[in-house]
Amino acid sequence: MKSDLVFPPFIPHRFYRNAHLQTIVGQFHSRIKAPYQAEQHSCRLPDNDLLIVHDDCPGSWKPGDRVVILLHGLSGCHRSSYMVRLTHKLNQRGVRVFRMDLRGCGAGTGLAKSPYHAGSFLDLQVALDRVEFLCPGSPIGIAGFSLGGTISLNYLGRPNVVSDMVDRAFVLNPPVRLSESVQVFGKPLFGHYQRHFISNLTKHIRTSHHLNAHTHKVSGENYPRNMRDFDDQFTAPLVGYESAEDYYSQCSPAEVVTHINVPTLIITAMDDPLVPADTYSEIRDHLSDHSKVTLHLTKHGGHLGFIGAPSSDPDPRWSDWRIVDWMLSDSPEALASQIREDSHEPLAQSA
């Protein structure tokens, strides 16, 4: 375990100061070509669907050592570059990592009749139950990315369901008010993100034999023009909400973050093109006296980008090393106190 950590500021690489470059290039830059060697575990969900977790256990790990579970973002899976990078870096430090494929994703394609969504925190609870069974007595950290971060916050914000073995969490670029994040896609020059997600999501529906019976909801004249249409026509009705707005209202974690009692670090960029920084203004005020949740805003970084300038980090992926530091810290509370002292950036409108 590490102590006396220094939390360095994020300084973007000189070639990637633009938020869109950080976001797009960030999906490929410094990609680790690690061979897949994980053991797969199936988790049965209360509605009889299945999800898969991928168990990467380093040779040095022994019972009682640290475990981390990773949750990917929208249209991602265990193969997403950030999932592979973090697994490799944590494994090198003796941490056992479980990459969770959200319902119907990755190795779980075709195993679920219902789609994953921002409120799928009970799915995370089931996966954590399996991790606890496999690793009795081990402290567990949660790391969620984008939508996976939203799910993580929704789980952590319900203390009555949080496992006693979860002792810390890290979320990167999580949408905290879904309706406001979806509105971003309607801005000029942001259409390529919307097309990317809708294309991937509709393709996912067509390739899943459990979901392809619903393709009429997202094809022909029903083909969604935007993410709100997709959620209104597909996500909301399939998971039991009246409309997209009902889904967004009930599954936005902004309302529950103050209930979190596990040390949790939220990092997001003010220039994130997918999650507007001003959605954090209200929760930042609410968290000002909250000892368990720390919000750290950077001026730059894009969405899951954070490609940094040369520094003391072993490679340019600044956010990767902050996750490693947080998970290995002897005292996340002490590290959080230092981060708060260094976090004085004013909120600004996103790009």
Q: Which residues are catalytic?
A: 146, 272, 303
Please, what sign has the CA dihedral across residues 338, 324, 157, 83? positive
Cα 15 from Cα 121, distance rounded (Å)? 38
Listed residue (118, 109, 86, 112) closest to 99, CA to CA: 86
Burial degree of 149 (CB within 10 A; 0-12, 13-18, 19+) = buried
Instruction: List phi, psi (to 5°) of 256.
Output: -120, -5
Please, what sign has the CA dihedral across residues 79, 81, 86, 89? positive
Query: 332-342 vs 318-328: helix axis angle to the nearest 10?
Result: 140
Which one-letter DSSP state was computed for residue 96?
E
- Exposed e or buried b per residue across 226-261, where buried means at least 16 C-beta atoms within 10 angstroms of its C-beta: bbbbbbbbbbbbebebeebbebbebbbbbbbbebbe
